A and B are shown apart, each in its own frame.
Chain A
Amino acid sequence: MIDAATLYGLCAALLVGGGVYALIVNPQPLRKIVAFNVIGNGVFVLFGAIAHRGAGFGWGGDPVPQALLITGLVVAFCATALAVALLLRLFDEAGSATLAPDARPPAAPEAGAGER
Chain B
Amino acid sequence: MTTPGGLLLALAVIVPFVGVLAGFTLGGRNAQRVAMVTIVAGLGIAIAVAAAMQRTGGGLVYLLGGWAPPLGIALRADGPALVMMLAVAVVIVGIGVYACADFGTPAGVREARAPLVFWTLLLAIWGALNLVLVSGDLFTLYVALELLTFAAVPLVSLDGKAETLQSALRYLLYALLGSVFYLLGAVLLYGAYGTLDIALLAARIRPGPATLAAAALMTGGLLAKTALVPLHLWLPPAHAGAPAAASAVLSGLVIKGSWFLVVRLWFDVLPGVLTGPSAQLLGALGAAAILLGNVVALRQARLKLLVAYSTVAQIGYLFLMFPLAFGGAALARESALAGGMLQAISHATAKAAMFMAAGLIYKALGHDRIAGLAGVGRALPLCVLTFVLAGVALMGLPPSGAYVAKKLLLGAAAETGQWWWDAVMQAGGLLTASYVVLVLAHALVPGAAAVKPRALVSRLAEAAALALALCSLALGLAAGSAGVPDVLSGALSPAALGGALVLIVGGALVASALADRLPPLPAGGFAAFGRPVRRTTLVVAAALARTDGVLRLWPVAGLSLVALVVAFGAALMARG
B165 within 8 A of A: yes
Name the residue of chain B whose CB is nearest to the CB of A87.
B169
B161 within 8 A of A: yes
Q: Is the CB of A90 within 8 A of B183?
A: no
Classify chain B: how many residues form its interface, as a range: 35 or more
Q: Is the CB of B160 within 8 A of A99?
A: no
Question: CA separation between A71 and B553, bound complex, in Å?
Answer: 32
Q: State the Cβ distance, B202 to closest chain A Cβ, in Å.
A: 16
A60 within 8 A of B: no
Q: Is the CB of B553 within 8 A of A112?
A: yes
Q: Contact mask A80-99 → B, CB, 8 Å, 1/0? A: 00110011011001100011
Q: State the Cβ distance, B309 to closest chain A Cβ, in Å.
A: 15
Give the residues in chain B near A20, CB-CB below 8 Å: 177, 558, 562
Q: Is the CB of B173 within 8 A of A32?
A: yes
Question: CA separation between A108 and B166, bound complex, in Å?
Answer: 14
Q: Which label, helix, strand, loop or mixed, suits the secondary structure of the B interface?
A: helix
Give the residues in chain B near A62, CB-CB below 8 Å: 194
Q: Is the CB of B191 within 8 A of A82?
A: no
Question: CA separation between A33 and B173, bound complex, in Å?
Answer: 7
- A interface residues, how many (CB within 8 angstroms): 50
B556 within 8 A of A: yes
Q: Is the CB of B176 within 8 A of A83?
A: yes
Instruction: Give how many A-B residue pairs fall within 8 Å (CB-CB).
Output: 132
Q: State the Cβ distance, B68 to closest chain A Cβ, in Å.
A: 14
Known: A86-B153, A90-B165. A50 touches B552 (CB 8 A): no
Question: CA separation between A107 and B555, bound complex, in Å?
Answer: 10
Q: Is the CB of A36 within 8 A of B554?
A: no
Q: Is the CB of B150 within 8 A of A112?
A: no
B203 within 8 A of A: no
Give the residues in chain A near B193, CB-CB below 8 Å: 55-56
Q: Which of A27, A71, A86 contacts B157 (CB 8 A)?
A: A86
Q: Contact mask B422-442 → A, CB, 8 Å, 1/0? A: 000000000000000000000
Known: A50-B187, A50-B191. A115 touches B139 (CB 8 A): no
Name the residue of chain A whose CB is nearest to the CB of B233.
A101
Question: CA separation between A115 and B557, bound complex, in Å?
Answer: 11
Q: Is the CB of B183 within 8 A of A79?
A: no
Name the residue of chain A whose CB is nearest to the CB of B552.
A101
Give the residues in chain B near A43, CB-CB below 8 Å: 180, 183-184, 187
Known: A64-B71, A109-B555. A99 touches B169 (CB 8 A): yes
Q: Which of A24, A78, A94 contacts B562 (CB 8 A)?
A: A24
Q: Which of B150, B160, B180, B555 contacts A89 (CB 8 A)?
A: B160
Q: Is the CB of B150 within 8 A of A90?
A: no
A75 within 8 A of B: yes
- Interface residues in B70-84 by Cβ distance below 8 A to A read 70-71
B170 within 8 A of A: yes
Q: Which label, helix, strand, loop or mixed, suits the secondary structure of the A interface?
A: helix
Q: Is the CB of A112 within 8 A of B180?
A: no
Q: State the Cβ distance, B559 to closest chain A Cβ, in Å.
A: 6
Q: Is the CB of B180 within 8 A of A39?
A: yes
Q: Is the CB of B173 within 8 A of A25?
A: no
Q: Is the CB of A24 within 8 A of B165?
A: no
Name the residue of chain A whose CB is nearest to the CB of B169.
A86
Q: Which of B150, B162, B166, B184 contacts A82 (CB 8 A)?
A: B150
A1 within 8 A of B: no
Question: CA separation between A47 and B165, bound complex, in Å?
Answer: 34
Q: Is the CB of B556 within 8 A of A112?
A: yes
Name the residue of chain B whose CB is nearest to the CB of A20.
B562
Name the residue of chain A whose CB is nearest to the CB of B71.
A64
Known: A75-B146, A101-B237, A115-B559. A86 touches B165 (CB 8 A): yes
Q: Is the CB of B195 within 8 A of A56?
A: yes
Q: Contact mask A8-35 → B, CB, 8 Å, 1/0? A: 0000000010001001110101001100
Known: A50-B190, A112-B555. A93 touches B161 (CB 8 A): yes
Question: CA separation between A42 and B183, bound complex, in Å?
Answer: 11
Known: A39-B180, A55-B194, A112-B555. A99 touches B173 (CB 8 A): yes
Question: CA separation between A8 and B121, bound complex, in Å?
Answer: 39
Q: Which of B172, B194, B196, B553 contacts A83 (CB 8 A)?
A: B172
Give the residues in chain A near B183, CB-CB below 8 Å: 40, 43, 72
Known: A40-B180, A93-B162. A99 touches B170 (CB 8 A): yes
Q: Contact mask B99-139 → A, CB, 8 Å, 1/0? A: 00000000000000000000000000000000000000001
Known: A93-B160, A112-B553, A112-B554. A83 touches B173 (CB 8 A): yes
Name the residue of chain A whose CB is nearest to the CB of B157.
A86
Known: A29-B169, A86-B153. A24 touches B160 (CB 8 A): no
Question: CA separation between A75 and B177, bound complex, in Å?
Answer: 13
Known: A24-B558, A43-B184, A99-B170. A36 touches B177 (CB 8 A): yes
Name the residue of chain B whose CB is nearest to the CB of A36.
B176
Q: Is the CB of B172 within 8 A of A46?
A: no
Give the residues in chain A near B192, CB-CB below 8 Å: 55
Name the residue of chain B whose CB is nearest to the CB of A101.
B237
Name the residue of chain B whose CB is nearest to the CB of A49.
B191
Q: Is the CB of A29 within 8 A of B161?
A: no
Question: CA separation between A38 and B323, bound complex, in Å?
Answer: 36
B301 within 8 A of A: no
Name the residue of chain A whose CB is nearest to the CB of B554.
A108
- Interface residues in A55-75 by Cβ distance below 8 A to B read 55-57, 62, 64-65, 68, 71-72, 75
Most buried by A among B150, B550, B558: B558
B143 within 8 A of A: yes
Name the residue of chain A whose CB is nearest to the CB of B191.
A50
What are 16 sample pairs from A and B whose C-beta atoms fall under 8 A apart? A24-B559, A40-B180, A40-B183, A43-B180, A43-B183, A50-B191, A53-B191, A55-B191, A56-B70, A56-B190, A82-B153, A86-B153, A90-B162, A90-B165, A99-B173, A112-B558
Binding site for A on B (CB under 8 A): 70-71, 139, 142-143, 146, 150, 153, 157, 160-162, 165-166, 168-170, 172-173, 176-177, 180, 183-184, 187-188, 190-196, 237, 550, 552-556, 558-559, 562
Beyond contacts A46-B191, A89-B157, A112-B555: 15 other A-B pairs, Cβ-Cβ < 8 A, are A20-B562, A23-B177, A27-B554, A36-B173, A40-B183, A53-B191, A55-B193, A56-B193, A68-B139, A79-B150, A99-B554, A100-B554, A108-B555, A112-B554, A112-B559
